[in-house]
Structure 1
Amino acid sequence: MDLHTTHPSATTTTTRPPAARPPRHVRVVPALAAAWWAVAALVALAVTLTGGTLPVGAASRDAVGTLLHDVPGSTLSPLVALLALVGATLAVGMLRARRSTVTAAARTATTTAAAVTVAGAVALTDASILARLGYLPLLVVRAPFDEEFRDAFAAYVAPGVVAQYLALGGAVLLAWATVLFRRRASGACAVCGRAVDHAEPRWRTPARAAVWGRRWAIVAAVVPALYAATRLAWVAGYPFGMQADDYDAMVADGMLAAAFGLAAFALVGSVLTLGLFQRWGEVFPRWMVGLAGRRVPVMLAVVPATLVAVAVVPASITLLAIGPDQLRAEAAESWGALAPMLLWPLWGPALGAATYAYHLRRRPACRTCGLG
């Protein structure tokens, strides 16, 4: 595939008439974000005002990797309630805003406030979200045959874990609603984001997105591949970067199966990431019986890649929460386990950028604004 060839949809304007109404998500996402944050605010306020404590910070044994893990739950709970109130207010305000009433200064202020709120919500999450995502395939396979693996599912619905899911979900919804708000307030198409009254920036054209997207996709593929390599070395019997006693204990505990599962998950993710700039990421290959030759739906690649990129963000925050002293101590004990994780802060943004570039290259002409 020639990466410098402009995608056909970038050079021709569609003759399809604009749709009467935008897709449902343009209307639903802002309303859902407002409802999500409003309910969160009501629950957090009710718990706080009745003297209760939310499962956050030191009040949750599942929050050990968050930036706020040492903050007492009694202190953090009212702050979470305040954060939820701010998020609800912003979401409602963006939902009701109209282009004619939003100045450039108001748009900037709203976006900044939303970014701070999203950051506050993400600060309540940690690497356990990514870890559970990685372990899930192994649990699904082993659970029917092993009671211990079935019991492990209970950890997926612990109060502190559910609170993290809700916080991350709220962050995603508010960020999405903010993007839609900025499009609407600036006069761009709310569906595709294309500028209606001026030319698209050059970096967003399919030809340029193919160039920078390929670079970020390679970076995003290398990080999980390095992680998988260390785990596969352990499975093969080589205690790469581990103390001999620690490796023997891992073998005795039967953790090599988990290491293999995580390595397999990481390798699959690495290979699929390469598809963000390869031909087989656009057209199903010949060996896929029943699908060979058909075009890969854009969302089939964009949605899972985005979910992983989002899950990597809390994992990166955990590295900040650990602190340099503990990182050095853990590196001295098991640098092979830690070293690949140090690249996680790069993995999330790289995968997000590569996914966005894939979307820019492959998005069709917009049915709402007619541009394409």
Structure 2
Amino acid sequence: MSAIAHTQADGVPGPPPTGPWRRRWPRWAPAAAALWAVLYAAVEVTWAASGTTVPWKAHSAYAPAVQLFLAAVALLGGGACLATTRTLRRPLRAVVVTALTATLAVCVVGMNGLPVYFVTLATLSGIESATGLSQVLLNTAGAALLFLVTLSYRRRLRGDCPRCGWPHDGAGDGPLVPPPVSRAPGRIRVAVYLLMCGLLPWAGAKSIWSLGGDALGVSGQDWQRATNAHASGPSKALASAGIDVTVLAAVVGVFLLLGLLYRWGQVFPRWTPFLSGRRVPRLLPLIPAWLTGIPLTMYGALLTVAAPLVAVGVLPEIRPSPPFTSSSGITWMVAFGGFAFTGLGAALLVAARSYAARTRPSCAEAGKGGRPPLTVILQMTGCLSSFR
């Protein structure tokens, strides 16, 4: 195991690094996560005590008992974050990692409505619920902080640099060295393309309706009348041109996918004014990919499972609502939505994982003191073949 100046053998940080604050995130992330936990718990208890309605899906709200449970889970996670800064015996380390992982999972589930709120805000359609959006944002912030704490703690337990994850001597607050620009391996590209095919039935049906055609027993006029009833100005303008706003959002997701797969997602291409040739900030595509891919995959998987259960009678029949005129039509659309959201979400996660591995930098110190050079590190991660 490598001996790192700022990491002790028991996973506790040693002398603090002195670099800029953004380079010292492994040290301040536990305290930030603990503050988030206190804030989250206070908000949940306040909502539960006052009977505030906090929706988690259409026509359904969190029960007060659930809100109190979420407050307790947040405090448990916050305590675990603070415990990562202490000297712990091996059994207690496992307890801390388990608490962090469980709290992170709860927050990830609470992010489920993030893409929906993003689309409504981007199209100026208004916010259906301020408390619902606040709940989603609180869970998203918590998931991000808990992920950082869990990642840095597990790296310290292995004796690696908590910032870059590679074993090296010296403080981990110096410059980062990015790896060579590369595209995703062929198997990753094929997997992403196959997952993207799940968009075709859903996008096809919506495009037919937007262009005035009929599909699944729904006429184009009825669809446009129903969707324009509560649509914003930009949404109506796009619909008048035969473009469904949700399909356009999916196209944006596909554009993000291509950037994650190919070299132009790491270095700005020639057609980007003022930025051509510059390195793309690593988190610029990764953050939207994670924040969109995780909720879409969870929501799509739920729809994918529910639709066939409804079709065979295990779940109650879905009552049609305008513009749908039959239960079978709306059930098929639920299935199409499940394929689309699961496919796009999983494709984003697969592409983001590949992008994160291929763009993972190392501290400048990693190449000193007899440590493995960058090429050896890339061989260890299985990424070197994609550079050839």
The alignment's TM-score, normalised by the length of structure 1, stands at: 0.71
Matching residue of 1:52:
50
Matching residue of 1:33:
33
Matching residue of 1:339:
335
Q: 2:86 aligns with which of 97, 106, 116?
A: 97
1:273 is displaced (CA, Å) by 0.4
Matching residue of 1:110:
96
Q: Distance in 2 between matches of 1:79 and 1:364?
A: 39
1:272-283 alignment to 2 at 5 Å? 272-283=256-267
Q: 1:63 aligns with which of 43, 56, 61?
A: 56
Offset from partner CA, 1:264-283 (integer Å, 9 cap, x none) = 12112112202222232233
Contact in 2 for aligned 1:40/1:84 (Cα 8 Å): yes
Q: Distance in 1 between matches of 2:347 and 2:167?
A: 25
Matching residue of 1:301:
285
Q: Distance in 2 between matches of 1:29 and 1:369?
A: 23
Query: What is the SS of the residue equivalent to 1:276?
Result: helix
Query: What is the SS of the residue equivalent to 1:63?
Result: strand
* 2:207 corresponds to 1:232: yes
Q: 1:292 aligns with which of 267, 276, 279?
A: 276
1:120 is displaced (CA, Å) by 2.7
Matching residue of 2:142:
170
Q: 1:190 aligns with which of 135, 144, 162?
A: 162
Unaligned runs of 5+ in 1: 1-18, 140-148, 198-204
Unaligned runs of 5+ in 2: 1-16, 170-179, 321-326, 368-372, 375-388
1:81-160 alignment to 2 at 5 Å? 81-94=71-84, 96-98=85-87, 101=88, 103=90, 105-126=91-112, 128-139=113-124, 149=125, 152-153=126-127, 155=128, 158-160=130-132
Matching residue of 1:210:
185
Offset from partner CA, 1:80-103 (integer Å, 9 cap, x none) = 222222122222212x135xx453
1:180 is displaced (CA, Å) by 1.4
Aligned length: 318
1:207 is displaced (CA, Å) by 8.6
Amino acid at match of 1:333: G
1:114 is displaced (CA, Å) by 2.2
Q: Distance in 2 between matches of 1:208 and 1:109?
A: 39
* 2:247 corresponds to 1:249: no
CA RMSD of aligned residues (A): 3.7
Offset from partner CA, 1:174-201 (integer Å, 9 cap, x none) = 123111111112212211222459xxxx
1:261 is displaced (CA, Å) by 1.6
**C-alpha spacing 1:112/1:285, structure 2 compared with 1 (3 Å):** same
Query: What is the SS of the residue equivalent to 1:291?
Result: coil
Q: Distance in 2 between matches of 1:348 and 1:360?
A: 18
Q: Distance in 2 between matches of 1:230 and 1:102?
A: 58
1:158 is displaced (CA, Å) by 1.6
**C-alpha spacing 1:279/1:194, structure 2 compared with 1 (3 Å):** same
Percent sequence identity is 26
Amino acid at match of 1:78: L
Matching residue of 1:143:
none
Offset from partner CA, 1:341-364 (integer Å, 9 cap, x none) = 223345434422321211221234
The alignment's TM-score, normalised by the length of structure 2, stands at: 0.68
Matching residue of 2:384:
none
1:315 is displaced (CA, Å) by 2.8
* Structure ranking higher in helix proportion: 1
Q: 1:161 aligns with which of 128, 133, 148?
A: 133
Range moving further from structure 2, 278-287 or 265-274: 278-287
Amino acid at match of 1:52: S
Structure possessing the higher relative contact order (Cα contacts under 8 Å, 6 or more residues apart): 1
